[in-house]
Structure 1
């Protein structure tokens, strides 16, 4: 249970259309992540599913029932926001059980559901504390627990980890993944963080200016992007993309070299940083001068100025001895090249 279907969903604010005909199916028990740049409509779309925003056109179905005009309380969903929104004068247990109390649930039922949620979220020792006595990660767990006790058909998360520091984000990401496996409920999660999207999702929905740019598994989006937008949005660092010319299956870079295997109509070629190796100047597809070396421990990212081809980022081992000013040749793995046409669409054989 908990399957969610969107059919031609649109959202208008006056003359401005912000959601432009979204068709999507989220299966029962599936973890789907909405990701995209700021202003792409991901939070608006989530709020429409939850009933917090009206739907201008189209249909929203939950388990086959049309809930487009239903209020949030009639949809059987629950939402976790970026802000914890906990009542400061209530204990953790009271915060978690408050929605059940206002709904008139018996006290033994409330206590049982709060205890069960606290066990799942490892909050049992904290039930008598107040929010001011909790860390950011503990407060977010309480907010999630408040949703669990309602036993929803599906969970909606709107950038729930944005207020946490880096270490807590990693910890909470792990907890949310475990929670999904344990509850087996559909979850839709909005984030601008690619790491969250790639590590949590069964499928990622990449949004661009109110439209779906691509839907697929994290691996599918990373390895076979449908277009230039997805290719450069998914992945950190982003895919290197360079202008190229192609003829008869051969391709070449401006003021550089090239190779074979380019589909007809190719005007750009892309390659991930980990699929580029450094060699002696004159080898590979182009030459570049080291501009920046970003040391990250096990890995380093080397950014080279490749003239007309622009800056190209290469992933190397952390013990590299390259330094700014060094010159090198760049060798592209031919099996990992992605070609794009003039409209920005990927050309796959």
Structure 2
């Protein structure tokens, strides 16, 4: 079994607690992504699983055994870092095979494992090159290949795409998704980029201040956020949050203080005919879509999404009508509440 379980895991640095009692089960073969803003504890939690950070309290169970006190080398995990950490004087073949050579495996077995990793990652044509002769995406694939040859219990990825440009990030997202489909291995992946999380994960763990804010599939988090933090972190552009007292013609729970609505769930209507009126502030034309930022006065600011282009100009007054089946409500503490 390559499942991983965290039981009431805590991390303290002196008097400062950065991981605050995390409970989480990661199933065999699952692709789980830790996501959240800088400083939320996602990389620390990953390093605790890897054994690179000591666990102050709680247990880390790997493949049905208590690995809390085990050193990294005994945990059977492979970690891919943000930096490629390749040996510049070695060929791709030697970089990929280095962990096996260090372990003293026979040359024939090393060649078989390295050739398999090269085939999976489409590195066959680059095996005799050195890292300086590769693109950023190719270097990252070499770093992943070095992990594959070890046949680990699980793969741990710590923001592996953050050093790549936008085009390479898209390409490598595809490569990692295909890798997971091919290997069917347990993978835990850390990123601050919610687009990576939404496109890659089986389940997403949203972290806030060392706590788990919510765990769920990308669809669950997008459609049913548990609180304001998740509602505004997941989704791009983020969910609009408006003051409930300034939204007319909408039935909502009495304890609701905020109303949430995503940009694609708002349509423009003549002033006075929607749930709230606003003035066009900024238009962002993106080709297939146009995002319109509306000034809604005391209620706040709202962004809506239109397909294609629009003739609207800044300063135009319009009404906004909400898709009532996609409206969210939050109480004074920011927790989601059900409409009644």
Length-normalised TM-score, structure 2: 0.98
Moved more, 52-61 or 312-321: 312-321
Q: How far has the Cα of 1:309 moved from its partner?
A: 1.1
- Partners of 2:329 and 2:268 lie apart in 1 by 21
5+ residue gaps, structure 1:
246-252
SS at match of 1:24: strand
Task: Give the aligned partner of residue 117 of structure 1.
Answer: 117
Alpha-carbon displacement from aligned partner over 1:223-275 (angstroms, at most 9, x marks no partner):
00001110011011110011114xxxxxxx2xx52312x12311111100000
- Which of 257, 266, 269 aligns to 2:256? It is 266
CA shift, 1:99, in A, is 0.7
Contact 2:97–2:114 at 8 Å: present in 1 too?
A: yes
Matches within 5 A, 1:1-349: 1-245=1-245, 253=246, 256-260=247-251, 262-349=252-339
Tell me, in whole angstroms, the C-alpha distance in 1 between the residues paired with 2:311 and 2:66. 61
The answer on whether the counterparts of 2:248 and 2:276 sit within 8 Å (CA) in structure 1 is yes
Q: Distance in 1 between matches of 2:331 and 2:194?
A: 25
CA shift, 1:343, in A, is 1.0
With 32-41 and 262-271 compared, the bigger mean Cα shift is at 262-271
Q: Distance in 2 between matches of 1:202 and 1:264?
A: 35
Distance in 1 separating the partners of 2:334 and 2:73: 42
Q: Distance in 2 between matches of 1:17 and 1:61?
A: 21
Show CA shifts across 1:286-321 (max 9, x none).
111111111111111100111001110000122211
Alpha-carbon separation, structure 2, partners of 1:75 and 1:263? 49
1:322 deviates by: 1.4
Q: Is the 8 A contact 2:77 2:154 kept in 1?
A: yes
Q: Alpha-carbon deviations, 1:107-158, whole Å to 9, x = none?
A: 1111110000000000001000000000000000000000000000100000
> Which runs of 4 or more aligned residues in structure 1 lie more than 2 Å from their structure 2 counterparts after TM superposition?
none
Counterpart CA distance in 2 for 1:306 and 1:341 is 21
| 2:242–2:301 Cα contact (<8 Å) kept | no
Asked if the contact 2:243–2:300 (Cα under 8 Å) also holds between the matched residues in 1, the reply is no
After superposition, give the CA deviation of every residue in 1:19-64 in whole Å (9 maximum; x if it has no partner).
0000000000000000000000000000000000000000000111
Q: Contact between 2:264 and 2:304, CA under 8 Å: does it hold in 1?
A: yes
What is the CA RMSD across the aligned residues, in angstroms?
Answer: 0.8
Higher mean C-alpha deviation, range 318-327 or range 159-168: 318-327
TM-score normalised by L of structure 1: 0.96
What are the ranges of 5 or more consecutive residues in structure 2 without an aligned counterpart? Answer: none
> How many Å separate the matches in 2 of 1:162 and 1:138?
14
**Distance in 1 separating the partners of 2:243 and 2:318:** 20
The equivalent of 1:249 in structure 2 is none
Aligned to 1:248: none
